[in-house]
Homo-oligomer: A and B are copies of this chain.
Amino acid sequence: MSASYPVVDIHTHMYPPSYIKLLASRTTVPYIYQPTESDSPDTPDPRLIILASDDDPSRPKALRGRPVDSTYSSFDQKRAFMKRHGISCSVISLANPWLDFLDPDSALTTAQEINNDLDSASAESNAAPSNSGLKLYAFGCLPLSAPAKDIVSEIHRLTTLKHVKGVIMGTTGLGKGLDDPNLDEVYSALASTATLVFLHPHYGLPDSAFGGPEVVARSGHVLPLALGFPLETTIAVSRMYLAGVFDRHPKLQFLLAHSGGTIPFLAGRIESCVAHEREFIANGGSKQGPQRSIWDVLHSNIYLDAVIYGQPGLKAAIEAAGSVDRVMFGTDHPFFPPLGNEKDSKWLSVESNKGAIDGCLPQEEAKRKILGGNAVRVLGLDL
Contacts and interface: CB of A to CB of B under 8 A. Distances in A.
A205 B209 contact: yes
Interface stretch (A153-161, A162-170, A210-218): A210-218
Q: Tell me how many chains of this kind the complex includes.
A: 2
A273 B222 contact: yes
Nearest to A310: B268
A312 B222 contact: no
A262 interface: yes
A39 interface: no
13 contacts: A179-B215, A211-B235, A218-B287, A219-B280, A222-B242, A222-B274, A231-B234, A264-B265, A267-B310, A268-B311, A271-B310, A278-B339, A312-B317
Contacts of A218: 242-243, 287
Interface stretch (A17-25, A99-107, A190-198, A348-356): A348-356
A218 to B, nearest CB: 7
B238 A227 contact: yes
- A interface SS class: helix
Interface string A198-238: 00000001101111000100111111011100110011001
A275 interface: yes
A271 to B, nearest CB: 7
B312 A269 contact: no
Nearest to A332: B272
B309 A220 contact: no
Nearest to A216: B239
Contact of A222 (B222, B277, B336): B277
Contact of A266 (B208, B227, B267): B227
A352 B267 contact: no
Nearest to A243: B218
Given A177-B215, A356-B268, A277 B220 contact: yes
A226 B273 contact: yes
A109 interface: no
Contacts of A289: 219, 222
A272 B316 contact: no
B269 A308 contact: yes
Contacts of A235: 209-211, 223, 227
A239 B215 contact: yes
A218 B279 CA distance: 9
Interface in A249-292: 258-259, 262, 264-280, 283-285, 287, 289
A319 B309 contact: no
A349 B243 contact: no
A266 B210 CA distance: 16
Contact of A209 (B206, B276, B313): B206
A319 B315 contact: yes
Given A226-B273, A339-B278, A313 B310 contact: no
A272 to B, nearest CB: 4
Given A220-B279, A265-B316, A276-B339, 13 more contacts: A177-B211, A209-B209, A219-B287, A262-B262, A264-B312, A264-B313, A265-B265, A269-B309, A269-B313, A271-B310, A272-B336, A284-B339, A312-B316
Nearest to A277: B220
A320 interface: yes
